[in-house]
Amino acid sequence: MAPPEPKHQADAVRTTPQGSPLVGRPIHQEIPYGSAWNAVRRLADQSGLVFLDSAMSHQEVGRYSFVAADPVATISSLDGLRDAMARFPLQHVEGIPPFQGGAAGYLSYEAARSLEPRLAERMPPPQIPAVDFRIYDRVVAFDHLEERAFVVSTGYPEQNETARVARAAHRLEELLRQLGVVAAPRSGHGIIRNWRSSFSRSEYEAAVRRTVEYILDGDIFQANITQRFSAPVPDGFDPLRFYETLRRRNPAPFAAYLDFGDVVVASSSPERLVRFDGLTAEARPIKGTRRRDQDPGKDAEHKEALLGSRKDRAENVMIVDLLRNDLSRVCDPGSIEVPVLCGLESYASVHHLTSVITGRLAAAYSAIDLVDAVFPGGSITGAPKLRAMEIIAELERAPRNLYCGSLGYLGFSGRMDLNICIRTALFHQGIATVETGGGITRRSDPATEYDESLDKIAPILQAFEEP
């Protein structure tokens, strides 16, 4: 990528008649459109690298990618995020991608402990920070639909308007220089084998049978049971090289790479938890999976079997109802709609049934209130959500950490997009972990559920074996 000479426009100082600063507005400059991966490589040695990656281009869900590094602050709670959004309000600029500076990071699955006191007694604490967002004053943003790219700079954390605008201009020009430096080749490798699961086949099938008993006893309608695969990370392993392989083999619209030092994440998630565009909230739960086949005829059979599966459709509709209820807690009455019910989406290795639920966020609520209402996603817990999460904690016996948590951005302008961390690898304290599972209903067959969970994880494990 070769950025042009800076020609950005800095805002004039804007104040109210009383002299207090107005809400800030970022400055931005368009740069030549190219591979977002090149920007990642050139910023990879900076701290706090974040790549929110629409590796699978799609005009609706895979339109934008964002790269940021060198954060100005770390936030470790949702209350901290709420405070940061209040301190650094930003006008949204139309015509450029929606993340224009703000917080990017993750919520672990166990972050739900702080949202629901009843869960704190049952769920184990995570082995990583429960909430870890970094504040980015600059972003490299890509619009893959229009094939345009921008650098955006906010000038925060400066609070004085004149100083903020000056800092924004300085930081933007600094970022342009960094993007103009060719990255050195990376020398690490990406092979990990000898994975060990937290469940044997018999143990997993027993957990499925116990879940079905809970359903027949009337405790729940459905629950998602998962198994964890872990392996030591060898010397010389390069997570970024692994992610390069993963995104090439399994492109996904909500993929991501985070390097927060002790916690590194490589995700090829196809699932959105929730997006907020300033007016409307959107959730896109996935329920129902079939593996793909290289033979077109067999692939079509798998697709038809998924579309015709009463079990998968029932499970999907159940989660749609759960999310309609979650969104109704913060959306205007009567605004909840389901524009897509059990739509088919096909990825490199699997077909999915995906639904879309939307609602107009009520004026009294913010994007963080929206997170509070829907986190964690019902598609990876079950229904009713709280009881399903208690049963999950009992049967899985270990924290999920990042798996089934969420990852994405919350912009200073209030825009937000968070995925659900499935198809995700976590590197922490010398151990790599990946997890997989499935929704259990009264119709579930334990052996089939075990085999389907392996189908889902196979593409991730295969990516670890490519040098």
List the catalytic residues. Answer: 271, 287
C-alpha 427/C-alpha 264 separation (Å) is 5
Beta bridge partners of 58: 62
**151 in Cβ contact with 100 (< 8 Å):** no
Q: What is the DSSP letter of 244?
A: H
SS3 362: coil
Q: Directed axis angle between helix 78-87 and helix 367-374, to 10°?
A: 160
CA separation (Å) from 186 to 6, 32, 44, 45, 247?
A: 29, 25, 10, 11, 17
C-alpha 52/C-alpha 45 separation (Å) is 17
Beta bridge partners of 410: 103, 416
C-alpha 376/C-alpha 109 separation (Å) is 7
φ/ψ of 239, rounded to 5, equals: -60, -35
E-state strands within 39-156: 49-53, 64-68, 73-75, 102-107, 131-136, 138-143, 148-153
SS3 448: helix
Residue 278 CB neighbour total at 10 angstroms: 13
Q: What is the DSSP letter of 399?
A: -
Give me the torsion for CA of 111, 113, 114, 118, rounded to 10°: 160
Angle at 418 between CA 416 and CA 422, to 5 degrees: 175
C-alpha 213/C-alpha 195 separation (Å) is 30
Residue 146 CB neighbour total at 10 angstroms: 11
φ/ψ of 184, rounded to 5, equals: -75, 150
Q: What is the DSSP letter of 13?
A: P
**163 in Cβ contact with 110 (< 8 Å):** no
Pairing between β-strand 27-31 and β-strand 148-153 as defined by DSSP bridges: antiparallel
